[in-house]
Amino acid sequence: MDTKVTSQGRYQKEGWVQWPDESELSFQFARTLGGAQEGASLISECFFAASRMTPGDTESWYREWQALAQTSERRAIDAFERRCFRTASSNWLRAANYYRSSEFYLGHDDVRRLDTFDSVERCSHRYLAGLTPAGEVVKIPYENGAHLDAYFIPCAGKDVRSPVVIAFGGLDEYKDELLHEMPKHALTRGMSLLLVDLPGQGATLRRQKIVNRPDTEVPVGACVDYLLTRADVDPSKIGLYGASVGGVYAARAASFEKRVVAVVSDSVMFDMSSLFAGWLDAPNKLIWGHLKWVFGCATLEDVVEKAKLFSLEGVIDKITVPYLVLQGTEDWLGLKTATDTYDYAKAHGVKAELKLFDPDETGAAHCQIDNPTLGQEFICDWLATQLGVDQSAVRSRVLALA
């Protein structure tokens, strides 16, 4: 392919932009780079990989993240064999994130996609096993003999009933990315986590070919059913978190699944269909490949039509629990998608709150990918308050994990 001259990377309102002429790839690069704050990448390694990529060439993207992932996994195995368990754990977490990054732009029928996803989960599972208490790989019973793939991460021992947050990503984020984003913030605040791949996400999409659905209270209800079987979960303190398209899933689920007591939409789209329709004049946008895959649609027009079923109008007025909407002022979705959601919820009597991140504090990008720590601190503090967690009571655990 022809190599395109790309202007130099620089910091902008939405955070670090590696290749200003390649907005989609720059966003995904910043996403992996931001993981460094939570231990899921190394800054020097990220920039080293980028220096070996050809802007716009997704094959070089795959190759360089793969190389880092394989190196990190080898380090992890070597450290584990030497009984250097903390080093092994750190490298397994980074390897999982690098493998996730490498998979991102592969075609959905590319055989490397599932092989790479297997590598993501392999490293995630080793990381989970090293946590204290250990995380669990679980399969949540779903419809017609299917299941939802998930990770349960307890914040305390099995003899303690703790609050729990059901968490999921969006169009292209799945449980293994949440594994480095949320635990440090949720567990130290006294909340366990159920990180789940809903229909259209992660393993549920890749292995079982289950695409997304608008009645998200069904899969979320299956998650609640599972949690109620556990002796280490407080059944009266179950929260819900969704990011990006997952923010829509969370809001719709909380409108009908009344066993959750608080809900967060970290970036949200009040009317996905209208938003997607505005992209029809750019059929070469890389995001269309993900949209068709996740929505189970053959054409762009079919995606726009199915997205009508995910509208929040006439739905979120039924939310009866506290509802938090977050959005960055420089979100590439725009700000109106969130303010419309918040305004509609407030106008219909929902106990809604709106948190905006602006460039002066950073975190102004989509789902705070330019500063994910700020986002998760705010989100987990808010959830802890809504779930009745006395953070002073978990101070000793914070110190133990520091």
Q: What is the pLDDT of residue 159?
A: 83
Q: What is the largest CA-CA distance in the chain?
A: 61
Tokens of 198: 């809903």
The pairing of beta strand 192-196 with beta strand 162-168: parallel
Region 33-56: mean pLDDT is 96
Which helix (DSSP H) or strand (DSSP E) does residue 313 occupy? none
Q: What is the pLDDT of residue 8?
A: 81
- Options 1.25.40.10, 1.20.1440.110, 3.40.50.261, 2.70.70.10; CATH for 13-130 is 1.20.1440.110
Q: pLDDT, tens digit, for every residue of 189-240?
A: 999 999 999 999 999 999 999 999 999 999 999 999 999 999 999 999 999 9
Binning pLDDT at 50, 70 and 90, where does residue 5 land? very low
Q: What is the pLDDT of residue 395?
A: 59
- Options 3.40.50.1820, 3.10.20.70, 1.10.1240.10, 2.30.40.10; CATH for 134-271+311-402 is 3.40.50.1820
Where in the chain are all domains bearing CATH 3.40.50.1820? Answer: 134-271+311-402
Q: What pTM was computed for the model?
A: 0.95
Cα-Cα-Cα-Cα torsion 143, 117, 54, 49, nearest 10 degrees, comes to 130
Q: What is the pLDDT of residue 158?
A: 80
Q: Above 70 in pLDDT, residue 265?
A: yes
- Average predicted confidence (pLDDT) for the chain: 94
Q: pLDDT, tens digit, for every residue of 98-139?
A: 999 999 999 988 999 999 999 999 999 999 999 999 999 999
Q: Above 50 in pLDDT, residue 51?
A: yes
Whole-angstrom distance, CA of residue 215 vs CA of residue 240? 15
Q: Are 154 and 227 in contact (CB under 8 A)?
A: no
The SS3 of residue 39 is coil
Where in the chain are all domains bearing CATH 1.20.1440.110? Answer: 13-130
Region 321-339: mean pLDDT is 96
Q: Known catalytic residues?
A: 244
Letter for the amino acid at 323?
A: Y
